Amino acid sequence: MRLCLFAFFYIIFQSYFLSAQVQVETHEGQIYTGFEIDQPDTQFLKIIYESKLIKKIPRNDIVRLKYLNSKIICMGTNIYGNVLKFNDSTCFVQSKEGKVIEIKRRDINSIEILKSSNIETYPSVGLSIGSPGGINIVLGYMLGAGGIRFQAGSWFTLSYGLQGNLFLNSSKTEFSESNFSLGLGYAYDDNGRINSWGYGGFFYDVNFRGIFFELGVTIKAGSSSNISGSFQLGYFYRFND
């Protein structure tokens, strides 16, 4: 949703001070997206939404309160973060790195609430088929710009494997993410001849609405070192709501 300075003149006349950008969901299933009005109130949450409307929501009626990130366009420069305070002369924005930036309102051209994942750190869990073991349990944790993932699995008694990945995030939205990673693993295979090996590799994965797909190139360790391919396909749920 693009918010093109919707509250600037309205705030001047009403003398409201805006706090963080929020999305509120109520017990009735209503969802409101806008700016929280920074007024101490233990019973109600007040927000400005749809450019100028003020909504007073009982706090005990709120199911979910989600803080949103924005892109602030000011004189040709884009600044990304969460609006902390918004008064008649100044906008205070907290960047993803935690730095608070002060911007004069006269320098702001527009503000756009991003359709991206608000939570920068969150766990993930899922199931996949493919490397390293056949049928795998996958656990991961996003840590802002990157994260870790661990997978372990087996194919009945014929094979099993373990793999750990250290990844760097290349893109992330509310519904998808993609990552590049380095990984180390161990595999065991009994296909008539017992064989086991360690390996390292380079991987790329995509998650779209939970559907997870990973491709990789691995190098086996030991005297029979060789290069081979790797893949996983499954469902991977991200706890980023």
The CA R_g of the chain, rounded to the nearest whole Å, is 24
CATH number at residue 77: 2.30.30
CATH number at residue 202: 2.40.160.20
Query: Which pLDDT belongs to residue 15?
Result: 41
Q: Are residues 88 and 137 in the same domain?
A: no
Domain boundary among the residues 113, 137, 156 is at 113
Burial class (CB in 10 A: 0-12, 13-18, 19+), 127: middle
Query: Which pLDDT belongs to residue 218?
Result: 92
Q: Are residues 48 and 125 in the same domain?
A: no
Q: pTM for the full model?
A: 0.53
State the total domains in the chain: 2
Phi and psi at residue 106, in whole multiples of 5°?
-65, -15
Domain boundary among the residues 113, 134, 151 is at 113
Range of the domain at 85: 2-113
Cis peptide leading into residue 132 (ω within 30°)? yes
Domain boundary among the residues 65, 88, 113 is at 113
Residues of the chain with pLDDT under 50: 1-16, 118, 223
Dihedral Cα 33, 179, 94, 3, nearest 10 deg: -30
